[in-house]
Amino acid sequence: MASTVRYYAKPSDAETFCKAALVKSGLSEADAGMMASCLVEADVRGVDTHGLARLEQYIGRVTAGLVNATPKLEISAKTPVVAHLDGDNGFGFVVATKAMEEAIKRADTYGIGFVTVDHSNHFGMAATYVLQALRKGMISLCFTNSAKQMPPFGGKDTLLGISPFAAGAPSNNEVPYILDMAPSVVAKGKIRRAARRGESIPLGWALDKDGNPTTDANVALDGSMAPIGGPKGSGIAILMDIMAGVLTGAAFGGEVGDQYKEKRPQNVGHSFIVIKPDVFMSSEEFRARMDTLAQRVHGIAPAPGFKEVLFPGEPEHRLSETRKAEGIPYADAEKEMFENMAKTLGIPGLSLTPTPLNS
Ligand SMILES: NC(=O)c1ccc[n+]([C@@H]2O[C@H](COP(=O)([O-])OP(=O)(O)OC[C@H]3O[C@@H](n4cnc5c(N)ncnc54)[C@H](O)[C@@H]3O)[C@@H](O)[C@H]2O)c1
Domains, the chain, in order of start with CATH, read 1-64+327-359 (1.10.1530.10), 72-184+227-300+303-312 (3.30.1370.60)
- Ligand 1 centre and the CA of 26: distance in Å? 31
Residue 267 has pLDDT above 80, yes or no: yes
Q: What percent of the chain shows pLDDT beyond 70? A: 99
Atom of ligand 1 nearest to the CA of 314: 37
Q: Is the C-beta atom of 227 inside 6 A of ligand 1?
A: no
Res. 212 pLDDT band, cuts 50 70 90 = confident
Mutate to test the pocket of ligand 1, among 50, 131, 225, 316 (most ligand atoms within 8 A of CB): 50
Q: Is the CB of 313 under 6 A from ligand 1?
A: yes
Q: According to the model, what pLDDT value does residue 5 have?
A: 65
For ligand 1, is residue 229 a contact (CB within 6 Å)?
no
Q: What is the DSSP letter of 209?
A: T
* Ligand 1 site, residue 253, Cβ cutoff 6 A: no
> 155 CB less than 6 Å from ligand 1?
no
Residues involved in catalysis: 122
Over the stretch 92-111, which tens digit does the pLDDT of each residue have?
999 999 999 999 999 999 99
Taking the C-alpha atoms of residue 218 and residue 301, their distance in angstroms, rounded to an integer, is 40
Q: Residue 21: name the closest of 298, 260, 308, 345 by CA.
A: 345
CA distance 225 to 229: 12
In order of 108, 143, 245, 266, 267, the CA distances from 248 in angstroms are 23, 11, 5, 14, 11
pLDDT of residue 196: 86
How confident is the model over 116-157, as pLDDT tens digits? 999 999 999 999 999 999 999 999 999 999 999 999 988 888
pLDDT per position as a tens digit, 334-348: 999 999 999 999 999
- Whether the per-residue pLDDT at 2 is higher than 60: the answer is no
How many angstroms does the Cα of residue 3 sit away from the middle of ligand 1? 24
The runs of H, that is alpha helices, within 172-241 are: 188-197, 217-221, 231-241
pLDDT band, very low/low/confident/very high, at 243 (cuts 50, 70, 90):
very high
Distance CA 334, CA 6 (A): 10
Contact between 173 and 291 under an 8 Å Cβ cutoff? The reply is: yes
Packed helices 55-63 and 332-345: angle between N→C axes, nearest 10 degrees = 30
Gap between the Cα atoms of 121 and 38, Å rounded? 14
Ligand 1 centroid to residue 318 C-alpha, Å: 14
**Distance from Cα 166 to the centre of ligand 1, integer Å:** 9
